[in-house]
Amino acid sequence: MSRLTLLHSARRIAPLAWPVFIGQVAVLAFATVDTILVARYAALDLAALAVGGAVYTSVFVGFMGVVLAVGPIAGQLFGARKLHESGQQLHQGMWLALALSVPGCLILLFPQPFLSLAHAQAEVSAKVRGYLFALAFALPSALMFTAFRGFNTAVSRPKAVMALQLGALVLKVPLTALLVFGAALDTPLGHLRVPAFGAPGCGMATAVVMGLQLLAAWTMVRRDPFYASFGLHRGFAAPHRASLVGLLRLGVPMGLAIAVEVTGFTFMAFFISRIGTTPVAGHQIALNLVSMMFMMSMAIANATSTLVAQRIGANDASDARQLGWHGVELGVLVAALLGGAVYLLRTPILHIYTHDALIVAAALPLLAWVALFHVADAAQTIAAFVLRAYRIATVPMLVYVLAIWGVGLGGGYAVAFNTTGLSPAALQGAQGFWSAATAGLVLAAIGMCGFLAWMLKQQHDMLPEVVVTRPG
């Protein structure tokens, strides 16, 4: 088989990547809307949003990673044309999401360990508790929708997910503004006064929108003819032990890996909050901006992983190998261009978030790390997703523990708080965490891409090349 060109692979990845990108931007825009609105409400509430958001993200993303095992498994079955078996992964993923919601909600309802870690002030803690209480009602819907998202991506139908995510964002913006700032409304039932909840209002809006989004997804599965070929129009299947075990076998290391990656950054908010309200507010804005940039890398990773899983299921190992590596190359190229552009425009971009000079000053130096941070993040993320398409999840988890927790979080704590007495003044405080996080991501990228390259070479050496003729 002749080598596929990077451009050819990009043309195959792009149709799946752009709907995922838009949908994920819509999801992240939830946090962006919250950040922008709360930044205009009060610095105290913005600090609470940073701490509360770190708690919810740590809980949700870890459990989300387990549920997303639906994707690689359903993708391989779809590639093998085992449609009914692929469809059953959606229902089993939803059962798994419901089970995981129980411990997840308990953590959100009793967040004291996180508040103690953050050394949060009493006023901030009260706001955080209200915010997380509301999000406890959002978590089950969010996790169940994750199963729907993973399945649709696996069967090359990301546009359906994108449409629902955009619709949710349209509802989220005005509802959040109403609950954050409050308003006096004239309704058919009379005059209604909505109080200003501040940061907790963001959680309330998210809970309402997540419930409506899941209802819309369920209606789509029941009524859209596309899902009939997967046997999903026949009602909700009962839990299936073997399927659930298969999801957990892949999903637990996936979830742990994603949890390590995300908590490595969200826990930064807890430690930075010890420095003061303004530094953690600046960190919240910088993290939200970098997270928005990350959505492009995530889209390429999802699309690449989907195609690789499908080609594995179709028993086309050579095509799967080349698509996987080309996805990494494409993601690094796009990340370098985007990271450079954001670095050059960092000052006007920060003013979109807030006009508070102190918060802008706190966030500005953090973005000096953005280009290298983003490129390394893109490389390691896409490589990890390709490995998951091969159902390899334990190695990425180990790499993350060493690089993200060890170098990034542990090293960041040592540098930021100058525990060794060797930290230069310029790297003490929030900048210390960001410099160490960047170093951790670079190490993760080297480890993840190195292992992927080794694994693909092993496959190339073991399997003979197959001549495959494609139209055009």
Work out the pLDDT band at 461, boundaries 50, 70, 90.
low
237-279 confidence digits (pLDDT tens): 889 999 999 999 999 999 898 888 887 877 777 788 777 777 8
pLDDT attached to residue 34: 92
Task: Report d(CA 64, CA 367) in Å as an integer.
Answer: 28
- Phi and psi (nearest 5°) for 187? -115, 165
pLDDT attached to residue 264: 81
Res 472 pLDDT > 50: no
346-396 confidence digits (pLDDT tens): 888 888 887 888 888 888 877 877 778 899 999 999 999 999 999 998 999
Res 186 pLDDT > 90: no
Amino acid (1-letter code) at residue 374: H
Residue whose token pair is 């299947």: 237
More confident residue, 22 or 280: 22
Interval 294-322 mean pLDDT? 92
11-36 confidence digits (pLDDT tens): 999 999 999 999 988 988 888 889 88
pLDDT attached to residue 466: 40
Residue whose token pair is 């076998």: 249
Closest of 171, 174, 178 to residue 208, by C-alpha: 171
Q: What residues does each domain of the chain span?
A: 6-462
Q: Sign of the C-alpha dihedral, residues 127, 132, 135, 136?
A: negative
Task: Report d(CA 15, CA 33) in Å as an integer.
Answer: 27
Task: Report d(CA 408, CA 400) in Å as an integer.
Answer: 10
Selection from 180-184, 231-235, 287-291 with the highest mean pLDDT: 180-184
More confident residue, 61 or 174: 174
72 contacts 389 by C-beta, under 8 angstroms: yes
More confident residue, 351 or 449: 449
Res 60 pLDDT > 80: yes
Q: For the whole prediction, is pTM greater than 0.85?
A: no
Interval 126-137 mean pLDDT? 95
